[in-house]
Structures are given as structure tokens and as C-alpha cells.
Amino acid sequence: MWRLLCRDGTDWMKEFLAYYDFDRQTPAVAAVDLLRIVQAFGTGRLVPAWLLHAFIQIGGKGLGSS
């Protein structure tokens, strides 16, 4: 995962963090949860944004849950 972040950076996370409820969790917890979702698809390369959006919209792991 570290190699993936070093290669792709973290700017891509900004648009997906909008799906999280920061009244219920901190930005750091949300970022870790998002990284766990991405890692589920593998770490060879960053999952396409459309796939991550679709997964989040159908209720992927986390996203506002504790």
C-alpha cells in the first residue's frame, strides 16, 4: 500500500472523503478506511475512480460507519 501511495499520491482521496460523516469519525479514520477499501482491489495500481465511486454508492465498507 505504501508503494501505491508513493506512486499515486493522496490527492485522489479528497473527492472520496466527501462520502464520510466527520461528525462520527475523524478525517484520519476515514482516510484509513478508504485505504482499506482501495487495498481490497489490490495494490498493483490505483483502482479506477468510477469503480471506487460505484463501490461506495452501493454501500461499501465504512463510509460513515464506526
- Say how far apart CA 45 and CA 24 lie, in whole Å: 30
Q: For position 60, what pLDDT does the model report?
A: 54
Looking up cell 466527520, which residue turns up?
22
- Taking the whole predicted model, whether its pTM rises above 0.85 is answered as no
pLDDT tens digits in sequence order for the chain, 66 residues long: 787 788 888 888 888 888 888 888 888 888 888 888 888 888 778 888 888 888 877 765 544 444
- Say how far apart CA 40 and CA 31 lie, in whole Å: 14
**DSSP per residue, 20-59:** S-TTTS-HHHHHHHHHHHHHHT-SSSPPPHHHHHHHHHTT
State the distance between the two ends of the chain, measured CA to CA, in whole angstroms.
Answer: 22
